[in-house]
Amino acid sequence: LGDYAGQVLRLPYQSMSAILVAADGDPESDGASWSTATTLGHALTLVGTDEEIWVKAGTIPVAATLSSSKAFVLRGGYAGDDDANPGKLAANPVTVLDGQDARGTLLQLTQSDGAYANTVERFDFVRATGSAFVKGNGGQLVMRDCGFIDNRGTGAGVNGRGGSFSGGMVSLWNCRFVGNQLPEAAGNKAFSGGGAYFSGTVVSMDGCSFASNGIPLSAATWYTWYNDSGAAFYATASRVTARNCRFVGNRQPVNQGGTSNCGGTIRLVGNCGGSRFENCLFLGNEDSAQNTAEFSASDPMNFGGALYVGMDASSRTLTIDKCTFAYNLTDGYNCSAGLTLDTCSATVRDSIFYGN
């Protein structure tokens, strides 16, 4: 059971009936068939514990944050054209929740019973201005084949542009975090986790990809930000297990204000003991400084690297197994472009470090 040893985990299954949802559904319908499909907002009020919501493939504009504290299964990507076969998938089996660059959070799940799990699969969360997806409280969450794409916040202090996950347990399978960025605008400060932010949770990810998160790679002008860290993801007090994942072309600014609290494509802080990276690729990630002359041996930038680890005690363990760190770049002093180990007890085996 690995990360789930000693835990009660309710594995989702696909039932033969569900509340059916379409972008043009009737907000007063019960969603008993595709011909009487309802809206996603109404379905969230109707669904019961361990029940399912199936959503037709296509794009749903999100005008107001969708929220629920219930434990249920949410599946997207259905064809939605055959009441005799309601479970038929579309040729492109994905449902897109679109914030249209105007909605802060698209979907927020806050169920708190650790004996139950929310499941979300075949959904893309795009163009939100804050954290596109939020998981809170102590429940379990399973996400499969989901995308967190082109979420570009405009305000300060948003952690986890693609997704923010806190409490309980989180499993991410074959999920994509792509192009989640802090815009080039003065005053956007104190954000952590371009792709994702994990706090006080147990994280397991397999087959996930994080690409071009953080700051646009084509940026010509960089502003003054403080405490910016974790272009791909930031984890605090969270045990993270990542297998078969790719972290490619993420860009993170280093701090430009006289302190060094910034940087790292991935940043692990606090009690992240027991974290493990296995068969992962870290390729072409960058920590960039506006003016490296600001940094000196007496004022170093200590937090760079494709993976930065600064836990709360040297006894906290980290394992890196069969990983590749290649062509990563960092500016500053006292840090490595590939792997920076500040505070932890690390075991690194059968891994490649090349061209950093």
* pLDDT tens-digit readout, 206-229: 999 999 998 654 444 444 444 568
pLDDT value of position 263:
72
pLDDT value of position 299:
47
Q: How many CA atoms lie within 13 A of 50 on its CB side?
A: 9
pLDDT value of position 336:
83
pLDDT value of position 321:
98
pLDDT value of position 246:
98
3 state DSSP class of 87: coil
∠103-108-111 over CA atoms, to 5°? 170
- By CB neighbour count within 10 A (0-12 exposed, 13-18 middle, 19+ buried), where does 222 fall? middle
Which residue ranges of the chain lie beneath pLDDT 50? Answer: 1, 6, 8-14, 186-187, 190, 217-226, 256-259, 291-300
Query: Strand 176-178 relative to strand 133-135: parallel, antiparallel, unpaired?
Result: unpaired
pLDDT value of position 181:
85
- Decide: 212 and 249 in contact? Cβ < 8 Å: yes
∠11-16-18 over CA atoms, to 5°? 85
pLDDT value of position 63:
93
Please state the pTM of the whole predicted model: 0.90
- Decide: 77 and 94 in contact? Cβ < 8 Å: yes
pLDDT value of position 298:
47
pLDDT value of position 331:
72
What type of residue is 323? C
pLDDT value of position 293:
46
What type of residue is 165? F
∠280-286-311 over CA atoms, to 5°? 65
3 state DSSP class of 309: strand
